[in-house]
Structure 1
Amino acid sequence: MAIARGYKEFELVPIFYLREEEIVAKLESRVNEADMWLFSGQVPYAIAKAWGGVTKPMFYVTYEGSSLYRTLLQIALERKWNLERLSYDTFRPSVLERTFAEANIQAKPVHVKYYPGVISVKELSDYHEALYRGGRTEGAVTCLRSAFLELQRRGVPAFRVLPTVASVESVLNLILRAKEALHFREAQIAVQMIEVDTFLGLIKNKFVTDELYKLELQVTEKLLRYARKVRGSLKQAGPGRYVIFTTRKLLEDITGDFHFVPDLEDLKIAPGAITCGIGTGTSAYEAETHAGQALLHAHGQGKGSWMAFFDDNTIVGPLGHPEQVAYSCAPETLQQTSHDSGLSVSTLSKLDSVLKKIGHREINAHDLAQHLRVQPRSARRLLLALEAAGYAEVVGESNPHPRGRPRRIYRVNFGDSSG
């Protein structure tokens, strides 16, 4: 809170808890109060994510980097413990090993309890205590406050990793960039590709050409009024097919964040008469392509279905159905890499495109940053995340400037993981 107060962009809404069991209840009563959510660590974040009631972007303070370095230094100065005879939690083993190597610590973390999601205080405390009582460790290093207090209560020597100013500022700056990205996303081009079955609007056995033509004119008038409501432009793309160009934000508002079909008089023609595909993209061409793919998926769901296809290769729909689902159309290799590394499929798709463009799988952070138009440290974090998950490995170094820091060259492979 003290650090965040230094950022004029934030209006802070603190929510405190003592036990993890309180988190969901506190979130339920205040879930609509924030545009972004920042959690104090991985566990409360995982609890909120598993609950599923938070629809806004969520972040948590990490305990890697400077936070971990500070704790290891504190242990070395105060206790002079053998770092191999400590138990650790939260961190991936590869992250700890890399931290030790970078700090020139001649030891290897042996006892590590890594958990990617929710974990109980009892399970975590039992793990550390069993090692300590069995004489295998001298103490514990934990990131969870409640586990630290429980270990103290049980008489197990423990250190708690606390976030440094740098780690908090890092996530606050990430939130600011995410807000900018969200604004960009809301302003993205969105396309609705609509197919209207005018025959459903005709009375059975009373079909005549003039009636069909009249009904088509009425449909066009209705869609023009609807297009004005979403501040879009309407064009006809063939018999019974129409395309509306607008923005993602306007469609999010009118569909309840792509959860239901707009209940507008302008769209009421006949039950099941309108089938729609919505697409978003960074260009009009990409958005229209995605809208066409969404329309094909809508046809697969039956007449009158609405589906949405986003620029991160996810599909949502059918809109308005209680059994609405979201799934990815990205290759399975990227989906698995995303799951293992914590990186989004969209980011991985961009990286894959860069590698295909340059014609090989080796790249350094500096070159990747130029291709992705991001800061070198962001590209470095991306490559480190892939390395930790086993999808990248250091294969060499380059030093374009004799006095500069050598640049690590990574080989990236989404199709194989050793992690």
Structure 2
Amino acid sequence: MQIRLGVIGPKDSVDKIINIAKAYPDFILYSFAYEHTEETPAIVAEHNDYIDQWLFSGQSPYALALAEGLISEETALFPPHHGSSLLGALLEASYNSGAKMAAVSVDTLDDSEIAFVRETYSLQALTVHGLPYSGYMPPDELSAFHREKYRSGEAEIAFTTIRSVYQTLAAEGIPVYRITVTKPTIEVSLRLLKERGQANWYRKSQLAIVGVEIFEAEQESEAQQYSYKRKHQELELKRLLLDYTEELKGSFVQMGDGLFYIYTTRGEIESHPSPFYLLESAQLQAKLAVRLGAGYGVTALEAEEHVRLALKHARKPGTSAIISVDETKQITEVFADDEPVSYDSRRLSEDVKAKLGERNLSPGVVSKLASSVKHYQKQTVTSQEIAQWLASSERNARRILLELEDAGLAEIVGEEQSGSRGRPRKIYRLDL
């Protein structure tokens, strides 16, 4: 299992990180260089579907993407600037100028990091005008800070972490040096991203059981519960549950009167919207009220224990939520007004849209394929897998693959025997 790592920042920073990351075989590397930090949200939004983890060159692009809700602290980070980064830039400036520096201006770095460098390396005689900040600060404001310190004579040299600020000040003739992250800091970030990516993959593979239980009305007699009408209602409910089981690529089992289990994985459950529609459909079509819970576990026994606990909580009076219990026995309630995550909300890149053109493929289908490729971490697929992902026929899946191939978004890379008589299935590599 390899982790698809997106590296984003100015070109020189991206190249530096990519060269270091090549030593890590656990990553498939994607580089995204920008000219201006403000381009970050658009780049992340366009490529988010197939990136597992993001490594930003610094706090500014990271903060912009985080503020837009495009990433989370679990799927992205940036290597922080430490005092060692500043020390390297100070040594470079001292070597190039050949003179003793008396005062400098420094942006981004925390005051504690600057104080550490001054104290550790006996630089108390050096006056440092700092501009620490959290999140994002516009480059114009950073440039103005350094410009004012230089023109007022308070600082002889400017030190900045932002490439565009460096370019602006250099063009104005202000002595300026770039502070860049060190190799050890980048390596620490890569190791952390590797651990996160692996943990996320194992989480997706975790065993999960969805439990569905018929809610018995108090006034319902035993004769009504075992009547032919009730059996027809249960048959309709089973049809609905089988459809949902197919969505989850799971296995459906009736555990007893009015109790059904669907065995699947956590990744499948979390990649679909919460199934409140199932509760409504059971009421409208099968005329049965049901409660729903999910249990996760490292073993089947643990998952069964947790789904029983989830259903127990769902039986509490006034509960209208779907309950889940994870491997730590943490109970989560999801209510119908919570915003679900669906494939339709994912956006295709402009390049993919251009290649699709007027072809007979809906953007929703291609979006779902792109999301499935990311979820299952597969770049090579067969028509059988496409049919499963789209809950469609294999014939329709072959048509979709031919359309994608014609658009330059898929190519044949091999064949496999289908397991029955007939021609072998073609294996395609998707580029979505």
* Alignment TM-score, normalising by the size of structure 2: 0.57
C-alpha separation in 2, matches of 1:108 and 1:308:
58
Residue deviations 1:187-226, cap 9 Å, x none?
Answer: 33545465542549x9x99x93434964796599569856
Instruction: Give 1:186's aligned residue.
Output: 204
Q: CA, structure 1 residues 213+175, in 2 after alignment: closer, same or farther (shift >3 Å)?
A: same
**Residue 52 (structure 1) aligns with:** 69
Listed one character per residue, the Cα deviations across residues 133-187 of structure 1 (whole Å, up to 9, x for unaligned) are: 3333222221111121222234432211123333333322322222222222223
Deviations 1:45-79 (A, max 9, x none): 11111122347822323322643332232234334
Deviation at 1:233, TM superposition (A): 8.2
- Tell me whether 1:28 sits opposite 2:45 in the alignment: yes
Map 1:121-140 onto structure 2 (within 5 A): 121-140=139-158
- Give the aligned partner of residue 269 of structure 1: 282
* Distance in 1 between residues matched to 2:120 and 2:297, nearest whole Å: 41
C-alpha spacing 1:13/1:213, structure 2 compared with 1 (3 Å) = same
1:164 equivalent in structure 2: 182
What letter corresponds to residue 78 of structure 2 in structure 1? Y
Residue aligning to 1:328: none
Question: What's the CA shift string for 1:220-258, capped at 9, x where partnerless?
Answer: 95698566855468696x9977776653223223x2xxx
Which of 95, 98, 105 is residue 116 of structure 2 equivalent to? 98
Which structure has more RCO (C-alpha within 8 Å, separation ≥ 6)?
2
On the 8 A contact 2:237/2:282 being kept in 1, the answer is no
Going from structure 1 to structure 2, the CA distance change for 1:234 and 1:25 (only over 3 Å counts) comes to same
**Residue by residue, what CA displacement relative to the aligned partner does 1:371-410 show, whole Å, maximum 9, x if unpaired?**
xxxxxxxxxxxxxxxxxxxxxxxxxxxxxxxxxxxxxxxx
Superposition CA RMSD, Å:
4.6
Q: Would the aligned equivalents of 2:101 and 2:126 in 1 still touch at CA under 8 Å?
A: no
Corresponding residue of 1:210: 226
Give the conservation status (yes or no) of the 8 Å contact 1:38–1:58: yes
Letter of the 1:2 partner, please give it: N
- Could you say if the C-alpha distance between residues 139 and 292 of structure 1 is closer, same or farther in structure 2, counting changes exceeding 3 Å? farther
**Preserved CA contact (<8 Å) 1:97 1:109:** no
SS state of the match for residue 147, structure 1?
Answer: helix
Return the alpha-carbon distance in structure 1 between the equivalents of residues 101 and 315 of structure 2: 61
SS in 1 for 2:283: coil
Match for 1:130: what amino acid? E
Distance verdict in 2 for CA 1:153–1:184, change over 3 Å: same
1:372 aligns with none
Task: State the SS of the aligned residue for 1:30.
Answer: helix
**Partner in structure 2 of residue 71 of structure 1:** 89
Aligned residue for 2:24?
Answer: 7
Q: Retained in 2: the 8 A contact 1:192–1:277?
A: yes
Q: Is the 8 A contact 1:66 1:167 kept in 2?
A: no
Corresponding position of 1:406: none
CA distance in 2, matches of 1:298, 1:315: 15
Q: Is the 8 A contact 1:222 1:267 kept in 2?
A: no
Counting matched residue pairs gives 314
- Cα distance, 1:136–1:276 mapped onto 2, change above 3 Å: farther
Name the structure 2 match of 1:113.
131
Equivalent-residue separation in structure 2 for 1:306 and 1:121 (angstroms): 46
Call closer, same or farther: CA 1:281–1:94 in 2, change over 3 Å: farther
**Residue identity in the other structure for 2:283:** A
SS at match of 2:27: coil
Structure 1 gaps of 5+ residues are 325-419
CA distance in 2 between counterparts of 1:314 and 1:40 reads: 37
Rg (Cα) greater in structure: 2
Indicate how the Cα distance of structure 1 residues 175 and 134 shifts in structure 2: closer, same or farther if over 3 A, else same: same
Q: What is residue 247 of structure 1 aligned with on the other side?
A: 265
**Does the CA contact (< 8 Å) of 2:274 and 2:340 recur in 1?**
no
Matched-pair contact (CA < 8 Å) for 2:245–2:262: yes
Between the aligned partners of 2:225 and 2:307, the Cα distance in structure 1 is: 34
Q: Does the alignment pair 1:61 with 2:79? A: yes
Distance in structure 2 (CA, Å) of the matches to 1:215 and 1:160: 74
What is the alpha-carbon distance in structure 1 between the residues aligned to residue 200 and residue 122 of structure 2? 40
For residues 112 and 244 of structure 1, do their structure 2 counterparts lie closer, same or farther at Cα, with a shift above 3 Å needed?
farther
Q: Paired residue for 1:176, among 150, 174, 194?
A: 194
Give the unaligned 5+ runs of structure 2: 1-17, 342-432
- Residues 42 and 219 of structure 1, relative CA distance in 2, 3 Å threshold: same
Aligned identity (percent) is 26
The secondary structure found in structure 2 opposite 1:141 is strand
Q: Over residues 253-290 of structure 1, what are the superposed CA-to-partner deviations in whole Å (9 max), with x where a residue is unaligned?
A: 3x2xxx432767x9942159344444656687699669
**SS of 2:171 mapped into structure 1:** helix
For residue 163 of structure 2, the aligned residue among 136, 141, 145 is: 145
- Which of residues 241, 260, 263 is equivalent to 2:274? 260
What amino acid maps onto 2:37 in structure 1? E
SS of the residue corresponding to residue 13 of structure 1 reads: strand
Distance 1:323 1:192, change over 3 A: closer
Secondary structure of 2:275 counterpart: coil
CA distance change for structure 1 residues 161 and 297 in 2, over 3 Å: closer, same or farther?
farther
In the other structure, the counterpart of 1:345 is none
Comparing 71-80 and 272-281, the one that deviates more: 272-281
Q: Is residue 309–residue 316 contact of structure 1 (8 Å, CA) maintained in 2? A: no
Q: 35, 39, 51: which is aligned to 1:18?
A: 35
Structure 1 residues 146 and 310: alpha-carbon distance in aligned structure 2, compared to 1, 3 A threshold: farther
